[in-house]
């Protein structure tokens, strides 16, 4: 059997690699994320001293000549749209914005335009010059992290491949500060705590995640900021809502929502993790999604090294519910 052949044409990148894993060495030298590099290696687009290597974990002694071929981006029918997204910060490397809860993130059936992706394409239109190393999926332009559909708040996106790699590395190192405000049913078990419980696909509902022994490690730190009470017909004690501030140590899909349900504190208004709980009609007016808000985002600027922190206040339904429960905005003033 003949040896695998390198892709035709000159390589897009050629480096003298350091000792260690192949994917890690390339990630330290190139403006590409480690996951992107690993995918290219598995696809046979990497050679070490002229020999095709398809294992990201391939060990290097140090000093080998490593070449990497990066394919051109797939064609995309997506059209950039100026959606007037609330921009909190914008420079040549990145953009920080407020994602409205009502905004659909990705194009899908019934949502072929007007999504967050279309809006980001407009904000990032200068991020993909034809002669640059392609590092951004055109269907998820610049998206370094994500917010669930229905969750509002601060998001960042990269405008260059270098910024994409740098910000992704910060997320992997758990150095990005992410604080959320959440309204949940019930009284929290104490003033603060930590949920360190692995998450995986729910065994009976593929749309949800649940605590599972075979899941990926997930850590959420929480603290109670305030408590509100509401009347329930036929119940003298009524109901209780807790306002929590949650800080992510890891960033798994649906992490806060699944962890709070695991604590017995289902998210208010949550179609997947609400536990079947509902508010009286007068309080539920205008609540069409989970009351979870990404209030604070902090990270290191990929070029200047400056530490940046951004805050975005909760949206109108969240504020209205807090006001109806007698929870003052001062409760989250130091978020």
Q: Residue 142: which region, alpha, beta or left (left: phi > 0; alpha: psi -120 to 50)? A: left
Q: Kindly state the DSSP code that residue 327 receives in the 8-state scheme.
A: -
Token pair, residue 112, equals: 């072929």
A 10 A CB-CB count for 209 gives 24
Asked about 148 being catalytic, the answer comes back as: yes
- The Cα 141–Cα 121 span in angstroms is 6
Cα–Cα nearest to 215, from 262, 150, 155, 268: 262
| Three-state SS at 26 | helix
Q: How far is CA 110 from the centre of its chain?
A: 23
**Cα–Cα distance between 202 and 206 in angstroms, integer?**
6
CB 225 within 8 A of CB 245: yes
Rounded to 5 degrees, what are φ and ψ at 25?
-65, -40
Structural tokens at position 118: 């279309």
Active-site entry in 148, 205, 214, 270: 148
| Dihedral sign, Cα of residue 181, residue 184, residue 186, residue 192 | negative
175 in Cβ contact with 233 (< 8 Å): no
* CA gyration radius, the chain: 23
Q: CB of 223 within 8 A of CB of 192? A: yes
Residue 109 CB contacts under 8 Å (≥ 6 apart), including other chains: none
Whole-number Å distance between alpha carbons of 7 and 178:
41
Residues involved in catalysis: 148
């Amino acid at each position: 059997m003949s040896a695998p052949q390198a892709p035709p044409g000159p390589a897009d990148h050629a480096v003298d690699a350091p000792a260690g894993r192949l994917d890690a060495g390339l990630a330290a030298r190139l403006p590409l994320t480690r996951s992107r590099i690993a995918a290219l290696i598995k696809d046979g687009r990497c050679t070490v001293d002229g020999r095709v290597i398809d294992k990201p974990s391939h060990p290097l002694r140090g000093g080998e000549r490593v070449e990497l071929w990066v394919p051109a981006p797939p064609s995309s029918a997506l059209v950039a749209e100026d959606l007037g997204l609330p921009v909190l910060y914008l420079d040549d490397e990145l953009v920080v914005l407020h994602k409205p809860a009502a905004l659909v993130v990705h194009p899908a059936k019934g949502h072929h335009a007007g999504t967050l992706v279309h809006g980001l394409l407009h904000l990032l239109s200068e991020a993909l010059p034809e002669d640059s190393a392609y590092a951004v999926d055109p269907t998820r332009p610049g998206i370094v992290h994500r917010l669930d559909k229905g969750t509002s708040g601060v998001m960042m996106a990269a405008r260059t491949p270098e910024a994409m790699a740098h910000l992704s590395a910060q997320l992997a190192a758990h150095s990005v500060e992410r604080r959320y405000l959440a309204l949940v049913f019930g009284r929290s078990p104490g003033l603060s705590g930590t949920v360190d419980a692995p998450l995986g696909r729910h065994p009976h509902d593929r749309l949800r995640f649940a605590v599972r022994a075979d899941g990926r490690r997930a850590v959420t730190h929480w603290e109670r900021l305030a408590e509100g009470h509401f009347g329930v017909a036929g119940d003298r004690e009524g109901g209780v809502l807790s306002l929590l501030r949650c800080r992510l140590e890891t960033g798994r899909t649906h992490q806060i929502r699944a962890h709070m349900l695991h604590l017995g504190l289902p998210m208010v208004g949550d179609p997947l993790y609400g536990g079947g709980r509902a508010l009286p009609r007068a309080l539920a007016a205008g609540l069409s999604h989970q009351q979870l808000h990404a209030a604070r985002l902090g990270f290191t600027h990929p070029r200047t090294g400056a530490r940046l922190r951004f805050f975005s206040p909760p949206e109108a339904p969240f504020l209205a519910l807090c006001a109806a429960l007698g929870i003052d905005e001062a409760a989250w003033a130091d978020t």
